[in-house]
């Protein structure tokens, strides 16, 4: 006669098994309750949330790319400013060490001023080039991601109309995401 470790004939064990396999109770204020008044079924909210996540993912990638561009050009600007600052310091130092008598002091000061102005102009031109490069690169990324977003929304709309032809597309709704 074999004895089992768990006696399955007891009524309290049966209650535990029944409770573990029963369907979960739906809490009040669930997705079904929230969507019931709007005429939206639960599966459509699943698809809408999935499509929202996809759109948010695209936007997050775009924002990450913008941040990469911004940090890259900020680093280049800092390096450029440091370069021109070192260059100005070297020019000032060389002129300070080169002045030997008062007769040439006026000549050296004018020459120093012209050379420093030239450095400032080159620095300004360099900064303008960097700003223009950043603007162009951001524009390219923005247009690329706008195209991707437009295509994604078009595909989502197709999928939505196939599955839920009577329900308006979530992107076009009253709380539409722009």
Residue 96 is assigned to a structural domain of this protein: yes
| 122-131 as b/e: b if 16+ CB within 10 A | ebeebeeebe
How high is the mean pLDDT in each 10-residue block of the chain (178 residues)?
Answer: 48 43 41 44 75 93 96 96 94 76 69 91 96 96 95 93 87 62
Number of structural domains the chain divides into: 1
Report the pLDDT value the prediction gives residue 42, as an integer from 0 to 100.
57
For CA atoms 12, 16, 17, 18, the dihedral sign is positive
DSSP string, 63-95: HHHHHHHHHHHHHHHHHHHHHHHHHHHHHHHHH
In a domain, 56, yes or no: yes
Instruction: Specify if 14 maps to a domain.
Output: no
Q: Note whether residue 52 is domain-resident.
A: yes
3-state SS class at 35: helix
- CA separation for the pair 173, 14 (Å, rounded): 49
Residue 70 lies in a domain: yes
Residue 57 in any domain: the answer is yes
The confidence score (pLDDT) of residue 30 equals: 39
Rounded CA separation 112/121 (Å): 14
Give the burial class of 43: count Cβ atoms within 10 A of its Cβ; 0-12 exposed, 13-18 middle, 19 or more buried: exposed
* Residue 123, domain extent: 43-165
């Amino acid at each position: 006669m074999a004895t089992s470790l768990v006696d399955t004939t007891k009524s309290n064990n049966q209650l535990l098994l029944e409770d573990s396999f029963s369907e979960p109770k739906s809490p009040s204020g669930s997705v079904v309750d929230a969507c019931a008044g709007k005429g939206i079924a639960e599966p459509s909210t699943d698809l809408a949330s999935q499509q929202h996540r996809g759109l948010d993912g695209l936007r997050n990638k775009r924002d990450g790319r913008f941040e990469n561009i911004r940090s890259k050009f900020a680093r280049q600007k800092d390096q450029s400013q440091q370069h021109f600052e070192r260059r100005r310091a070297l020019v000032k130092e060389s002129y300070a060490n080169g002045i030997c008598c008062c007769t040439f002091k006026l000549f050296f000061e004018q020459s120093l001023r012209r050379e420093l102005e030239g450095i400032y102009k080159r620095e300004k031109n360099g900064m303008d080039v960097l700003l223009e490069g950043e603007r162009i690169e951001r524009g390219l990324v923005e247009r690329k991601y706008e195209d991707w977003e437009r295509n994604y929304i078009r595909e989502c709309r197709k999928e939505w109309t196939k599955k839920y032809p009577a329900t308006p597309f979530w992107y076009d709704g009253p709380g539409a995401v722009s």
